[in-house]
A and B are shown apart, each in its own frame.
Chain A
Amino acid sequence: MIDRLKLIVLALILAFLQSFLLEQVDMGFWLRPMPYILLFLSFPLNFNKYIQLVIAFVFGTFIDLLSGSFGTNSASCVFLVYIKQLVDSRFVDFDSIKLQGERYINIRTKGWVFFAYYIFGLTFSHHFVFFALDFFEFSSIFRILITTFVSTLGTISLVLLFKSIFRI
């Protein structure tokens, strides 16, 4: 129960932070960090995968409503949760993580290298879908890739910062 409450509070903080602070501050053309993906990285591994998808959709729509970008955030959140589920089922051994006393992928569970690949891959895929839908042009593919890459680095830095602040 406390875990669920913690997730709801985290979701609200991240949503308002994204819409009222990060969307309002001009950080340059290439940099648009979206640390709210920390919420999806904090989902317990045994959490129902269908509920995860619905939460991703509702949370994405909530951010879309607050920031006036209909559908872009919800589509990329759904995509992120789907990819995360695929990666988790393929590369992660639930039982050994349970034995370690952890509930989700962390730096401690599989080491720095795996965690770096994991967080970079998921963040990049989320941001790529987001910027592809935002730019919506094949001819802008290089701009999409550069913006995705720079924003991914920004997002990962903020996610690691929040992880250390909230001790997630």
Chain B
Amino acid sequence: MFVLIKWLRKYSYPLVAFLLFGFSVNQILRYQIYQHSVYFQSSITFFRTIDVWKSNFVTYFQLRHDNEILANENIRLRNQLKIGLVKNEPFRDTSYFDSVSKELSNYRVMYSYIKAKVIRNTTNSSNNFFTIDQGKNQGIYPGMAVINPEGIVGVIVGCSQNFSRGMSVLNSKFGLTPLIPEMNLRQGVINWKGANARIVDLDEINRTEKIKQGMIVVTSNFSSIFPANIPIGKIEKVESPLNSQYHKISLKLATNFNKLNTVYCIKNNFNNEIDSLNSGTLNLSND
């Protein structure tokens, strides 16, 4: 303490000068529009650059985990294809590919995917957000769904030229109606109450529904943001309080938000069409 007081007495003059100078510069940054915008633009760029460096460093320690989840995703995607692409036939003739492409040409491409890297992510506040290294220049826009190979991650809420900010599932404002495929039940809302980064609540499911522990929960086809059948999680605990008409369900998230690294932003190619149809602006008189 004595040393500190001695130090303060010795350097009091430069300290006072620095304080007054700092106060003046603070006034400039607050009240002068040009300096204010330059300062914030450069500080945002600076902090994003630091985030990218940090994320590049941390990624190396998660490669094993990332490999594992990518392998699991591959298995799931191969099972979804159901057109026998790799049925013990590593060497096959070209007519095979012709038949596959003919089959695929009957489909419309509803969703486009843009790969991104998470450079900042929080899990410990009541409203969590994440930042990715892709922005308007790469085709990202607010409202796009974000998933990772494990499950859903969130929704994009703001974009700059090269970065975007997303609202994570671990956000009290996030809501989504899920599907329980085992019962074909499309009911309730996913909601995070802020206690645990692996657990969310599934509210508003009638107590008459026979929900069991261990049931898988995925995204439903009712959402125009998320594609159907993206894993959300697994039911961890079901309680049925007598004073409520709804179950009290805890859901263990499929996504590990503490190890969020590579994500996919999903663009619904028919979003405008669906929106205009829903709002009644599409001209249907000729149909």
Residues of A within 8 A of B (CB): 49-50, 53-54, 56-57, 60-61, 64, 69-72, 74-75, 78-79, 81-82, 85, 133, 136-137
Contact = CB atoms under 8 A, between A and B. Distances in A.
Q: Rank and list the top 6 A-B pairs by shortest CB-CB distance, nearest first.
A: A71-B27, A75-B24, A71-B28, A70-B31, A82-B17, A74-B24
Contacts of A57: 20, 23-24
A83 to B, nearest CB: 9
Interface residues of chain A: helix, strand, loop or mixed (majority): helix
Interface residues of B, number: 21
B17 A53 contact: yes
A137 B32 CA distance: 14
Contacts of A56: 20
Interface of B: 12-14, 16-17, 20-21, 23-32, 34-35, 38-39
Nearest to A74: B24
A54 B34 CA distance: 27
A53 B32 contact: no
A136 B25 CA distance: 11
Contacts of A71: 24-29, 31-32
Contacts of A60: 24
Interface residues of chain B: helix, strand, loop or mixed (majority): helix
B13 A78 contact: no
A149 B94 CA distance: 77
Contacts of B38: 136-137
Nearest to B22: A75
Contacts of A136: 34-35, 38-39
B13 A75 contact: no
Contacts of B27: 64, 70-71, 74
Nearest to A82: B17
11 contacts: A50-B12, A50-B13, A53-B17, A71-B26, A78-B20, A78-B21, A78-B24, A79-B17, A79-B21, A85-B13, A133-B25
Contacts of B21: 75, 78-79, 82
A133 B28 contact: yes
Contact of A75 (B14, B28, B30, B39): B28
Nearest to B26: A71
B26 to A, nearest CB: 7
B32 A69 contact: yes
Contacts of A54: 20
A81 B28 CA distance: 19
B28 A78 contact: no
B28 A70 contact: yes
B148 to A, nearest CB: 39
A54 B29 CA distance: 21
B259 to A, nearest CB: 38
A54 B21 CA distance: 11
Contacts of B17: 53, 78-79, 81-82
B31 A53 contact: no
B37 to A, nearest CB: 10
Given A50-B16, A82-B13, 17 more contacts: A49-B13, A50-B12, A56-B20, A57-B24, A70-B30, A71-B24, A71-B32, A72-B32, A74-B20, A74-B27, A78-B20, A82-B14, A82-B17, A85-B13, A133-B28, A136-B34, A137-B38
Nearest to A134: B35
A133 B24 CA distance: 10
A82 to B, nearest CB: 4
